């Protein structure tokens, strides 16, 4: 079975771990979000790609969900001693090595997809990880600031520095319109037996991937079941601050509203949590097959069960 | 008193610590060798500048003489896990931060002299440190290799990887002929009351600085005492492998031969170690005033005494 998964960071990575456990023989291609990539200290940092790679490769900081296990912070504290920031982005020493290798390869002329493949040669994540594009896309968030009025800030500044504590007026994947899908992305979609949207952020993770011209169209035209899992449980994001960016695109923070946001033109099936069982008829009325199942990824077993439910729903759609 | 010092790495840095102790009120400008700079992992590394900066700024690994105290090696071991080398160059985590800041500033367009000034703003070395040039100069060493025959390797590869264990046929400061002295270098020389050559390597440290067009001439024409200290004691380098590169330029590894290599056109005074007292007449016969004094920098006190002897000899020359 060939499965294509669109993934953001922590939610996508944990779902993928469950999917691998549920379908160890499946051929899984992950199209990773690069809209939250950021240049820090002259280095190219790809938080979502790394979270997927570290999680599936066994290097992730389990409790935190991002960054490396057994991490130290000598480089960061030294940079601070030089007065070089930002200090709000927590890069550890082990993590720095990844960014150093990536930057060196990028500056040597390798596209991000080739760099990602090289990094994965070490981590052996057991899936094929492809960035959504080799072109630069950078998600910006429009906010109001006391000093400068309304301005656009990098997604990471909004998310990590400001903790999404101010209203987002708009979310713009700068550069997406001019971006091309990375080599292998459209081919993987065309060859897929099923396409899954994990409970990742529908705006800044999966939404950004879909903003790369050609990807949304390829998924809609693939002719295979497309099944998603709601990142909203009981009217709030399971983790992160998805409600904040949903508001910016005028979407209510409910499982049904997120399904409608993707739309029946894209989505064939949708899993909501059991606490949102009441919304199943609303989703189905919109032309999307819907089931209510437990959607909390408390451990790999729970994530694997969710993955199985998604694949079961896909088979229902197909039949 | 305005003192200009040409410095390489460990020997130069330890001498400078003695000079500061001997003359705490002196205005000291250090012209640093950049011929051993190397790009590693996409980062610009300046070993000699950093050794001076760390030593005088209190951050040096005392026993080792280079690198940072209390160092860890997470980044390096991660790079090795990615299969990214070289592994023979020992960059620690704290040290990496320096190279990251330097590279970021360099890529933002700042010349190395401005970057060095910014790094020194943290370390407060108590001297003004200027790289010999803002242009790229890279010392190469011509060696015989079993696999590829005679070839040029980067100085660091010769020195650190090969431990200078093979014969050097030539030492070439690639790019030196086209290099210009960094801003402030010629001005400092012109304004100096005395110019000192510490017991640094006469070929790959001080020799490289003198290879930048304009520097040797400025020193010769400054009209102030120029006094050096022999890095060779009893026919062998005090530390390092200076004899290997001296052979490459056809100079014997003796205190007297190194003085003659600099020449009376450049050097007014020369300090040899007491074990080389017999060579004093030979040096003086070549027109260079010479004294035999202890030249082992066993501690700051010993280095300060050496610095005082150099300044005393400079006063004799002046008188």
Q: pLDDT (tens digit, 9 = 90+) per residue, A6-49?
A: 999 999 999 999 999 999 999 999 999 999 999 999 999 999 99
Among the residue ranges A162-171, B100-109, B129-138, the one predicted with the least confidence is A162-171
pLDDT at B188: 98
Domain finish residue from A115, A131, A147? A131
- Asked, for residue A209, whether it belongs to a domain, the answer is yes
pLDDT at A291: 98
Q: What is the mean pLDDT of residues A111-117?
A: 98
- A121 contacts on B by Cβ (under 8 Å): 83
- Is the pLDDT at A204 greater than 90, yes or no? yes
pLDDT at A26: 98
Q: Are residues B159 and B189 in the same domain?
A: no
Integer angstrom CA distances of residue A171 from A152, A163, A224: 9, 15, 30
Q: Are residues A102 and A185 in the same domain?
A: no
Q: Considering only CA atoms, which of A107, A111, A158, A161 is closest in space to residue A136?
A: A111
Q: Are residues A122 and A205 in the same domain?
A: no
pLDDT at A78: 97
Q: Which residue on chain B is closest to A122 by alpha carbon?
A: B82
- Asked, for residue B22, whether it belongs to a domain, the answer is yes
Q: What is the pLDDT of residues B298-318, one digit of tens each?
A: 999 999 999 999 999 999 999
Q: pLDDT-based confidence at B34, cuts 50/70/90?
A: very high
Q: Are residues B217 and B106 in the same domain?
A: no
- Asked, for residue B156, whether it belongs to a domain, the answer is yes
Q: Are residues A214 and A89 in the same domain?
A: no
Q: What is the pLDDT of residues B105-161, one digit of tens each?
A: 999 999 999 999 999 999 999 999 999 999 999 999 999 998 999 999 999 999 999
Q: Are residues A91 and A211 in the same domain?
A: no
Q: Tally the residues of chain B.
A: 319
Q: pLDDT-based confidence at B222, cuts 50/70/90?
A: very high
- Asked, for residue A308, whether it belongs to a domain, the answer is yes
User: Is A94 an interface residue toward B (CB < 8 Å)?
Assistant: yes
Q: What is the mean pLDDT of residues A118-131?
A: 98
- Asked, for residue B133, whether it belongs to a domain, the answer is no
> Do the chains contact at B97 and A107, CB–CB below 8 Å?
no
- Is the pLDDT at B185 greater than 80, yes or no? yes
- Asked, for residue A144, whether it belongs to a domain, the answer is no
| Cα A48 → chain centroid | 6
Q: At a CB cut-off of 8 Å and minimum separation 6, what does B310 contact?
A: B196, B227, B228, B229, B269, B271
- Is the pLDDT at B235 greater than 90, yes or no? no
Q: Note the ipTM here.
A: 0.91
Domain finish residue from A99, A131, A163? A131
pLDDT at A241: 80
Contact A261, A202 (CB under 8 A): yes
Q: Which residue on chain B is closest to A97 by alpha carbon?
A: B75
Q: Are residues A190 and A71 in the same domain?
A: no
Contact A291, A273 (CB under 8 A): no
Q: Are residues A73 and A189 in the same domain?
A: no
User: Is B124 an interface residue toward A (CB < 8 Å)?
Assistant: no
User: Is B74 an interface residue toward A (CB < 8 Å)?
Assistant: yes
What CATH number is associated with residue A305? 3.40.50.10680
Q: What is the mean pLDDT of residues B157-183?
A: 94
- Asked, for residue A154, whether it belongs to a domain, the answer is no
Q: Are residues A303 and A206 in the same domain?
A: yes
Tokens in use for B17?
Answer: 């610590």
Q: What is the mean pLDDT of residues A109-117?
A: 98
Q: Which domain holds residue A26?
A: 2-33+178-318
Q: pLDDT-based confidence at B240, cuts 50/70/90?
A: confident
Q: Are residues A222 and A99 in the same domain?
A: no
- Is the pLDDT at A250 greater than 90, yes or no? yes
Q: Are residues B171 and B267 in the same domain?
A: no
Integer angstrom CA distances of residue A284 from A256, A307, B21: 9, 20, 82
Q: Are residues A70 and A199 in the same domain?
A: no
Domain tally for chain B?
Answer: 3
- A119 contacts on B by Cβ (under 8 Å): 82
Strand partners of residue B266: none
List all residues of chain B from 99 to 118 with a beta carbon under 8 Å from chain A.
Answer: 100-101, 103-104, 107-108, 118
- Asked, for residue A155, whether it belongs to a domain, the answer is no
């Amino acid at each position: 079975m060939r499965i294509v998964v669109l993934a953001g960071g922590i939610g996508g990575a944990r779902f993928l771990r469950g999917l691998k456990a549920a379908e160890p023989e499946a051929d899984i291609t992950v199209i990773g979000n690069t809209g939250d990539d950021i240049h820090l200290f002259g280095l190219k940092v790809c938080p979502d790609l790394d979270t997927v790679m570290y999680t599936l490769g066994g290097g992730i900081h389990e409790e935190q969900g991002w960054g490396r296990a057994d991490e130290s912070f000598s480089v960061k504290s030294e940079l601070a001693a030089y007065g070089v920031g930002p200090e709000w982005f927590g890069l550890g020493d082990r993590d720095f090595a990844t960014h150093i290798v990536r930057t060196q390869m990028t500056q040597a002329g390798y596209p991000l997809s080739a760099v990602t493949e090289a990094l994965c040669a070490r981590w052996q994540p057991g899936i094929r990880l492809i960035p959504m594009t080799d072109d630069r896309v950078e998600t910006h968030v429009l906010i109001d600031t006391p000093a400068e009025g309304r301005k656009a800030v990098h997604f990471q500044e909004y998310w990590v520095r400001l903790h999404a504590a101010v209203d987002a007026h708009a979310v713009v994947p700068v550069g997406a319109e001019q971006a091309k899908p990375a080599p292998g992305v459209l081919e993987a979609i065309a060859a897929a037996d099923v396409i899954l949207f994990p409970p990742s952020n529908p705006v800044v993770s999966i939404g950004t991937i879909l903003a790369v011209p050609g990807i949304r169209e390829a998924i809609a035209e693939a002719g295979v079941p497309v099944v998603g899992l709601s990142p909203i449980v009981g009217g709030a994001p399971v983790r992160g601050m998805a409600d904040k960016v949903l508001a910016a695109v005028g979407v209510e923070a409910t499982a049904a509203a997120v399904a409608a946001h993707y739309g029946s033109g894209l989505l064939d099936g949708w899993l909501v949590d059991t606490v949102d069982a009441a919304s199943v008829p609303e989703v189905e009325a919109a032309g999307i097959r819907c089931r209510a199942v437990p959607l909390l990824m408390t451990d790999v077993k729970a994530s694997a069960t969710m993955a199985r439910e998604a694949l079961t729903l896909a088979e229902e759609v197909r039949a």
